[in-house]
Chain A
Amino acid sequence: DAGITQSPRHKVTETGTPVTLRCHQTENHRYMYWYRQDPGHGLRLIHYSYGVKDTDKGEVSDGYSVSRSKTEDFLLTLESATSSQTSVYFCAISEETLNEKLFFGSGTQLSVL
């Protein structure tokens, strides 16, 4: 299995608080992604990165920011969490070509109360 670690695995927080989720990879892959998964929806792309300090928005980026200061780490921040951001968040990586086959982390279950 690809070396991808997400932390924390579970988090409960209150509306209005900032939250940061971390994704760490040991594969030295160039591309990293953050997705959210909600019932009845496919995985939806929040942000992605194509290199250190190179990031771009996905289809559901409002309310989220990301940073990638090292190849191995990709951080997702909810500046002020809302209940609509309760979801399962998956980090993914791909090796060479953007959108090539993805390898996913184990996910973070985030609950915003």
Chain B
Amino acid sequence: RKEVEQDPGPFNVPEGATVAFNCTYSNSASQSFFWYRQDCRKEPKLLMSVYSSGNEDGRFTAQLNRASQYISLLIRDSKLSDSATYLCVVTPSGGYNKLIFGAGTRLAVHP
């Protein structure tokens, strides 16, 4: 089992739709969680951190469910410019210092 798993998609949605992605992680002691966004043939960029209490940034909402070991990303009112691959990232605990990246979920927003 991969340490971080994501549905690769693609998720094809019309403009204005609400779309949600989940990401599961295997290490229950994982401490930090992030969503990164990667445009085609570009570098990943941090979209948002994921806090235990959940957090929102404009149209984007991130949630953490420790009991079920998953994080989610909700995008409301999708824009064409949201088309990208969304990478789930987890930091293990115990001083094992490296981020673990999921392979990403591709989102395609169409007119």
Q: Which residues of A contact B (CB under 8 A)?
A: 35, 40-45, 48, 58-59, 90, 98-99, 101-107
Contacts and interface: CB of A to CB of B under 8 A. Distances in A.
Contact of A42 (B32, B42, B43, B100): B100
A101 B8 CA distance: 23
A41 B104 CA distance: 8
Given A40-B103, A41-B103, A101-B49, A48 B98 contact: yes
Given A42-B103, A99-B32, A106 B43 contact: yes
Interface in B60-109: 87, 91, 97-104
Interface of B: 4, 8, 32, 34, 42-46, 49, 87, 91, 97-104
Contacts, number: 44
Given A42-B4, A101-B34, A101-B49, A90 B100 contact: no
Given A42-B4, A42-B87, A42-B103, A102 B46 contact: yes
Nearest to B3: A42
Nearest to A91: B43
Contacts of B104: 42
Contacts of B97: 48, 98-99
B43 A43 contact: no
* A41, A42, A103 pick with most chain B CB within 10 angstroms: A42
B98 A104 contact: no
Contact of A45 (B42, B43, B46, B98): B98
B6 to A, nearest CB: 8
B24 to A, nearest CB: 13
